Amino acid sequence: MFDIHYLLAAIAGGLVGFTLSLVGGGGSILAVPLLVYVVGITNPHIAIGTSAVSVALNAAISLIGRVRTGTVKWRCVMVFTVSGVIGALIGAYFGKLLNGKVLLSLFALLMMIVAGLMLVNRNAEGNPKVRLNGDNFPRLVAFGLATGLLSGFFGIGGGFLIVPSLMAATAMPIVNAISSSLFSVAAFGVSTASTYAMAGLVDWPIAVVFVCGGFAGSVAGTRVAQLVAARRGALTTGFAGLVFAVAVYMLYQSLGAGRGV
């Protein structure tokens, strides 16, 4: 018997994959609200666990293509990721302990921050020859731990935080930060998903369908991005507005509507 939830999961995954390819970051932040309000997963913790699985797999697939370009700064991102995984495990533990409505409210506030970060100018050229050294090592550890905590707590890939963090810690160009961030996103996602999976908080069939939809959406998004490259800034601004609007709706649902306002 056909289950409409799988169709909705495929559409939601396609939307996330499409926006990620189109605007270059922040798209995965929509995974949790889509799983809750569109697909119909009523338990916020299951939505977060399922989102973490989906984000990790999509990032791993995207990383394969980036490796071929030679733009991944492996040593820097390895240090960042190891400390980030520790943070993700800690964040996921505390995230599971929090009340579902409170967690969604905090997630909505994070989305507002994401919308703001997407509008920040990140056109600094950076140093393409940057290497791991004694100066950037402690910064990579600190930024990695903090980013991992947020990633694990909210079950997000965190690419929108990882990219600027890698740039701030090492002064690498944004093209290297974007490519390198995919390794961290995949690792953080696996760490977060594993803790939720062991607690039985992952809907595996939905996750698989969501990933398949995301792959199809990313292919379409990449093609559209090539056609509208000149309007990339306007698209990013519009998407940031969408993220902010969804955050406001989530706050209303988890706070205002929950009190019968």
**Range with the largest mean pLDDT of 77-86, 111-120, 213-222:** 77-86
pLDDT of 180 > 70? The answer is yes
- C-alpha to C-alpha distance for 94 and 133, rounded to whole angstroms: 33
- C-alpha to C-alpha distance for 57 and 22, rounded to whole angstroms: 19
How confident is the model over 112-141, as a mean pLDDT?
79
pLDDT of 181 > 80? The answer is yes
Residue 186 tokens, joined: 């995949």
How confident is the model over 77-94, as a mean pLDDT?
93
- C-alpha to C-alpha distance for 65 and 43, rounded to whole angstroms: 34
pLDDT of 261 > 50? The answer is no
Residues in CB range of 20: below 8 A, 6 or more apart: 26, 27, 28, 58, 214, 217, 218, 221
In the chain, alpha helices (H): 4-23, 31-34, 44-69, 74-97, 100-118, 137-154, 159-170, 174-198, 204-227, 232-251
Residue 99 tokens, joined: 């009340």
pLDDT of residue 256: 63
pLDDT in tens, 91-122: 988 888 888 778 888 888 887 887 777 676 55
pLDDT of residue 125: 62
pLDDT bracket for residue 235 (50, 70, 90): low
What's 98's DSSP letter?
Answer: S
How confident is the model over 149-160, as a mean pLDDT?
78
- C-alpha to C-alpha distance for 174 and 163, rounded to whole angstroms: 7
More confident site: 24 or 22: 22
More confident site: 176 or 204: 204
pLDDT of residue 155: 72
pLDDT of residue 62: 77
What's 259's DSSP letter?
Answer: G
pLDDT of 66 > 50? The answer is yes
pLDDT of residue 102: 84
**Burial (CB count within 10 angstroms: exposed 0-12, middle 13-18, buried 19+), residue 122:** middle
Residues in CB range of 28: below 8 A, 6 or more apart: 16, 20, 51, 55, 58, 156, 157, 159, 185
How confident is the model over 130-143, as a mean pLDDT?
93
pLDDT of residue 97: 86
In this prediction the pTM is: 0.77
Q: Nearest Cα to 211, choosing from 73, 80, 35, 42?
A: 35
